[in-house]
Amino acid sequence: MTDLLQDVILLPADGARRRLASRSCANRSGRYAGAIMREKRMLVHIFRGPGRVFGCTNDATGANLPAQYRPWSSFKSLDLSRDGEPTAGVNASECLDDIEKYGFHITDAHVRITENLV
């Protein structure tokens, strides 16, 4: 599957424009000392299936989610990033890995079941 993540430029909180910096400009604490950072993000659409089953995909219609858990109902959409703030109920790394590899990420009661479905 192709790289589905998008580059996003994050400006520092003060909104100042500074030259584009790479991760190598982090100071000893791991912070980016006011530089602009690049981060990979993906808009992920979350759908609810039966019981405690949830499906995540980059397809806004959910058409690529497994048929065995239909009907899928739209729940919410999130911008996910491996380096971003944690998102309650979603393991961003697992979710993004599965979407890149399989096109979707499926959990049942917060337990990843994606590989059981492919």
Residue 18 placed within a domain: yes
Counted domains in the chain: 1
pLDDT value for 28? 47
Average pLDDT over residues 75-103: 90
In a domain, 62, yes or no: yes
Does residue 98 belong to any structural domain of this protein? yes
Least Cα distance to 82 among 116, 38, 50 occurs for 38
Measured distance between the N- and C-terminal CA atoms of the chain, rounded to whole angstroms: 14
pLDDT for res 97? 95
pLDDT attached to residue 27: 45
Q: State the pLDDT at residue 51.
A: 95
Give the pLDDT score at 61.
Answer: 96
Which tens digits make up the pLDDT trace of 28-49?
445 544 444 445 789 999 999 9
The answer to whether residue 1 is domain-embedded is no
Which residues are paired to 36 by β-bridges?
20
**17 DSSP 8-state letter:** -
Q: Give the domain range for residue 58.
A: 6-117
Contacts of 51 (CB under 8 A, 6+ apart): 108, 109
What is d(CA 115, CA 55) in angstroms, rounded to the nearest whole number?
13
